[in-house]
Structures are given as structure tokens and as C-alpha cells.
Amino acid sequence: MSGDKMVMRAWTRAQSRLGRRQAMPVMGCGMLAGLVAVGQAWCVASILARGLVGPGTAAWPGAGQLLAALAGLALLRALLLALGDVSAARAGRGARARLRDEVLGAILRGGPALLRRRHSAELTALAVDRIEALDGFFARWIPASVLWIAVPGLIAALAALMQPGAGLIMIVCGLAVPVGQAVFGIGAAVASRNQFLAMTRLQARFLDRVRGIATIVLLNRADDEAGRLADAADELRRRTMKVLRVAFLSSASIDCAMVVALVLIVVRDGGMVQVLRHGGASAALADAVARSLFVLLLVPEFFAPLRALALAYQDRAHASGAASAMGDLPDGTVSAATARGAVPVLSEGGVSVAFENVTFAWDAARGPVFEALSFTVPAGEILTLVGPSGAGKSTIIEMLLGFIVPDSGRVLVGGVDLATMAPATQSGLISWIGQKPVLFAGTLRENILFARPDADEDALRAALHAAAVDRFAADLPEGLDTPIGEGGFGLSGGQAQRVAIARAYLKDAPLLLLDEPTAHLDPETESEIFASLRILARGRTVILSSHAAGVRAFAGPCLDLGKMRCSQPGAGLMAPVEEGHVHV
């Protein structure tokens, strides 16, 4: 927990440093607006003093001039306010764009292995919603955390120039705020975080119950659950109110300090003014009244940044939550260890594949998936992997795809160790069809061109025909330009698999990896897909992982991982088992 907190604090500090640079214009505007506010207060005070006791010394500007100056300052301040808002929003946007880039980059670097640990919805929420929620941290909290000292300091200093006593009162009352925050604030900080957590938990519960609404309704538990939801919300309210009672004291301390400052200044200056009035010196009286009003008008300006800080505190709470979620992502450093430029040997009909004493464990505690596994697939051959789930079928395929690397041993493709190949070379060698292809939000055409965006119309047409996509594409509402994927036209499992086959044709790689490509299809569709895959397999090396029916779909050797594991743990060289030796 304390380690977690350290990570969080380090993240917050690093982000604050980065964010502060972007928040510079916001702070600049805030400081200038503070200065303008002082000018405004001076103009207003002078006008009032003139109205009350007539012009003071001869050096005083005329009434019209003062009004014009005040109007000018007001325009300037409005401009600074708007500029400050715009640049705060810009700082927030800049930071979010940067963070989103980092997170997406980290997700891409982490690759498919990341999906074993984290749910895709969770990662999406991190990259989208969590980062959106951070806007306030960069747009409001960071500027506020600097301005709350700078602006009151500036105002108090200028007030002290005019009236040292009143300036002192402001500073003393201003200092009382951090003291008050320290007394109640420690509680408030904890309370605010707890409240945020409790709130998040309630929201999660609500979301969970709504997602499972069908289950609840069909179990006849809707009333029960509604009652429980109400109870949970009420419980949250009672607990939250208990902490808010303390938390609000800290902002009450700002109010209190401001009222005390106001009253003290009125009492002190009031006394002075009265003495002067009885003295009868009109010029000195006007001057004193102007000064007193000036200081009085500055009091709300003095406390405004303190209030802004208290308001921005919840933005900080959001940041802490996001920090721990982001801390889990893979680091930004890319291992540039080896010069990866090796080029594999390609033959006419595919490329050879060999595993040499490969050992791999997903989790050291659960033991290796396979130990010292060795097998060879000559170019153009077809190898079928069989075995119960967990035997390592998918692991072999993911290793060839480069999603994971062996703990020891080598994986050779075209006679070259995968580890020495540049990623682009590696991905150029391999086509892959999994259980359910991901269809991206976009048209059918875009989804197929995903495999090779620069493919020309002829190549596309050939791939469509070979994969028999053209057979169903014609029936779609807008043919090839029908939107599919999220929010688009739904394709059936078989149709989606045909899109994947068309992708593979377009890519035309020498090694074809098939990972249970028909697991979710009915038998009729399954046999059609296998027929297409047999054509696709011509002139390529194929490694197929499949259940019962799949084994009969391709002629060729089988590798039974389950048997190997049970009967010969840590087997050495394992010759591919001939077809027919496998019982399914």
C-alpha cells in the first residue's frame, strides 16, 4: 500500500512538473488579472472617496478620467479572464493528448500479452474516460496550486504599500487559512479521498447491477435489488456526511478568515477616518478614505485564489486514481538490445519453422506450459496442434507471432531466430487467423484493406473472390462500403472469418497460423470455412491449432501436446506424430 502511494505521489509530482510548463500562460493571466484587480480597486476607491469628500490633493485625476480608466481596466480584466480560461482549457487538452498518446503507445507496446492481465473494457476506460477526468488536474489544480500563494502575496504587498496595517491584517488572516486547513484539512484531504472512493464504489455497483439487469429480473429479484441499492446509497450518504461535516470546516475557515479581515479593517480604518474627519483636513481625509476603501475592496480579491484552490482539490483526487491505473502499464523504454536485422530464408512454397528446446511459463508459480519443446515443420508443410486446453497450443502460436518470447530455447523461422529479426520482417512473414477476428469500426473494404492499405483494386478483388467475401458482400446494404464493426452492420461468425481469410490473401505471407478458426461456428459453416482455408494453405507453411473436427480438415502430421506433457515430461526432440496416432 505504501509502495502504491509512493508510485502515486511520484506520478503526481512528475505530471505536475510537466503540466506546470503548459499552465504558465494560465498563471501569467492569473497574476496579471490580480494586478488589474488592484488597479480596479484603486479606481473605485478614488471615485468613491471623491464622491464622499470631494477631490483630495491636486494630483488626483478627474472624475471622467477615473471612470474611463475603470472601464478600460474592466475590459482588460475580462480579456485576461477569457484568455486565462482558454489557456487553462488548452493546458488541459495538451496534457490529455500527451497522456493518451503515452497510454496508447504503452498498450501497443504491451501488445496482446496485456490482454491476458487486463480486460479490454478496462484499458479502454483508462485511455478514454480516466484521462478525460484528468482535465481538471491540469486545467485547474496545477494553476491554482501556484496562484493561491502568488496572487494573495501580490495583493497583500500592494495593499501594504498603501496601508501597512491593513496589509498586515490580510496577511495574518490569509496565513490563518493554511493553519485552518492544517487543522481540519488533514481530515479533509483524507475525507475527500474516501468520499471519492466510496462514490466510485457506489457507481461501480450501480453499473454492475444495471449490466446484469436481465439476470436480476429473471430471478425475480428486482425489488430486492432496488431496495439494496437504496440502502447502499443511504449508507454512503450517512458515511459521507459524517466526513463532510469536518471537511466543510476547512472551507468555512476561509470564509471566517475573510469576514474577520473585513471587520478588522473596517474597525481599524473607521477609527482613523473618524479622527481625520474631526480634524477637518479635507485632502487628508479624502486620501485616507480612498486608501481604506481600496484595501476593503481588495479583501475578496485576496481570498478568491484560496477559494479556487479549495474547489480544485477534488480534481487532485481524480489524479490519484488515474495514477495507480497507469502505473501498471508497461514502461516506455523499448529494448534496443540487439541489432535486429536478420533476414529469413524463404523457399518457393512457404518457410520452415523450428522450435529448439523451447521452455515457457506464463506464471512461474504454475509451472511451465512446456519444457524443452522441439519440433520442425519444413517449408510448405501443414502441422496440426492438438491437446486439451492449457496444453500450450495457443502459446506456440503466440510465440510465433512474437506476442511472447521463450524463457529459454530458440524459435526459428526460415532458419533465423525470431529474436534477431526486425519486428517488421517478422510480421511480414506471418498471416494469422484466430477464433474471432476483430472487425474494426469502418467499412468492409477498409477492414479487408487493413491487411495491406496500399493494395490496388485488382489485388482486393482477387482476395475478395478467393475468400468468397464477394458472395455475401453483394447482399449487404451498401456492398463493400457497408459499415461493419462497433455500431455497424453485424456480420455472422462465418462471414467475419471470411473477412479474416481475405485479409490473409491480401497479405500473402508464407507462414499461416490458424488458432481454432472455427471454434464458434456451426458444423455447416465450419466445413465451408475449412474448405476455403485449404485453398488458402496452398504454397504456404501452416500451423493449425484445432479441436476434433479440425484435425480431419487438413492432411498432415499432428503434434499432440497433451500426450507429450503427460507421458514424457520434459521430452527432448519430439518428432511430429503421424496422422492417425491422435485420439480425439
Q: Under rule CB under 8 A, which residues in 183-222 are in contact with other proteins?
A: 203-222
Binders of other proteins in range 313-372 (CB under 8 A): none
Q: Which is nearer to other proteins, 372 or 443 (CB)?
A: 443
**Candidate ranges 146-154, 520-528, 532-540, 564-572; the one touching other proteins (CB under 8 A):** 520-528
How many angstroms separate the CA atoms of 85 and 139, rounded?
A: 9
Residues 6+ apart with CB under 8 A from 410: 355, 356, 357, 358, 417, 418, 419
Give the nearer residue to other proteins in terms of CB position, either 119 or 337: 119
Q: Please tell me whether residue 566 binds other proteins under the rule CB under 8 A.
A: no
Per CB under 8 A, which of residues 114..143 are in contact with other proteins? 114-115, 120-124, 127-128, 132
* Contacting residue, 89, 150, 172, 342, with other proteins by CB under 8 A: 89
Residue 473 cell numbers, joined: 458482400
- What SS3 state is found at 407? coil
Subset of 434-453 contacting other proteins (CB under 8 A): 434, 437-438, 440-441, 450-451, 453
CB of 275 to other proteins, least distance (A): 10
Q: Report the site for other proteins in 451-490 (rule: CB under 8 A).
A: 451, 453, 485-487, 490
Q: Rounded to whole angstroms, what are the CA distances from 554 to 7, 229, 353, 546, 547?
A: 52, 55, 18, 10, 12
Tell me which of 423, 569, 570, 572 binds other proteins, using CB under 8 A. Answer: 423
Rank residues 119 and 348 by Cβ distance to other proteins and give the closer one. 119
**Which helix (H) or strand (E) covers residue 19, if one does?**
helix 2-53
CB of 78 to other proteins, least distance (A): 4
Which residue lies nearer to other proteins by CB, 62 or 164?
62
Q: Which is nearer to other proteins, 199 or 575 (CB)?
A: 199
Residue 75 or residue 190: which is nearer to other proteins going by CB? 75
Report the alpha-carbon distance of residue 134 to residue 495 in Å, rounded: 41
Report CA torsion sign: 479, 480, 486, 487.
negative
Helix (H, G, I), strand (E, B) or coil at 498: helix
Instruction: Look at residues 99, 128, 152, 147 and name the one whose alpha carbon lies nearest to residue 312.
Output: 147
Residue with cell 505521489: 9
The percent helix, strand, coil of the chain (3-state, each to 5) is 70, 10, 25
Q: How many CB atoms within 10 Å of residue 392?
A: 24
Count other Cβ atoms within 10 Å, centred on residue 36. Answer: 20
Considering CB under 8 A, how many residues would be counted as binding other proteins? 140
Using CB under 8 A, pick the residue from 4, 17, 24, 112 that binds other proteins.
112
Residue among 197 and 575 whose Cβ is closer to other proteins: 197
Which of 88-96, 343-351, 532-540, 572-580 is the region at the interface with other proteins (rule: CB under 8 A)?
88-96
Q: Of residues 29-68, which lie at the interface with other proteins (CB under 8 A)?
A: 44, 47-53, 63-64, 67
Say if residue 470 is exposed, middle or buried (CB neighbours under 10 Å; 0-12, 13-18, 19+): middle
Contacting other proteins within 490-519 (CB under 8 A): 490, 492-493, 503, 507, 519
Residue 136, H or E segment: helix 135-136
Least distance (Å) between residue 285 CB and other proteins: 7
Minimum CB distance to other proteins, residue 529 (Å) = 13
Q: What does the alpha-carbon distance between residue 151 and residue 157 come to, in Å, rounded to a whole number?
A: 10
Least distance CB 338 / other proteins (angstroms): 19
Tell me the C-alpha distance between 537 and 554, whole Å: 10
Residue 54 gets which letter from DSSP? -
Residues in the chain: 584
Angular region, 402: left φ>0, alpha ψ -120 to 50, beta rest: left
Choosing from 105, 153, 330, 349, the residue that interacts with other proteins (CB under 8 A) is 105
> Is the CB of 83 or the CB of 571 nearer to other proteins?
83
Site for other proteins in 397-416 (CB under 8 A): 401-403
Q: Which amino acid is at 517?
A: P
The terminus-to-terminus CA distance of the chain in angstroms comes to 49
Q: From the CB of 457, what's the least distance to other proteins, in Å?
A: 20
Pick the closest to residue 349 from 382, 397, 396 (CA basis).
382
Asked if 111 interacts with other proteins (CB under 8 A), we say: yes
What residues from 231 to 290 belong to the interface with other proteins (CB under 8 A)? Answer: 233-234, 236-237, 240-241, 244-245, 248-249, 251-252, 255-256, 259-260, 262-263, 266-267, 269-270, 273-274, 277, 285, 289
525 is a contact residue toward other proteins (CB under 8 A)? yes
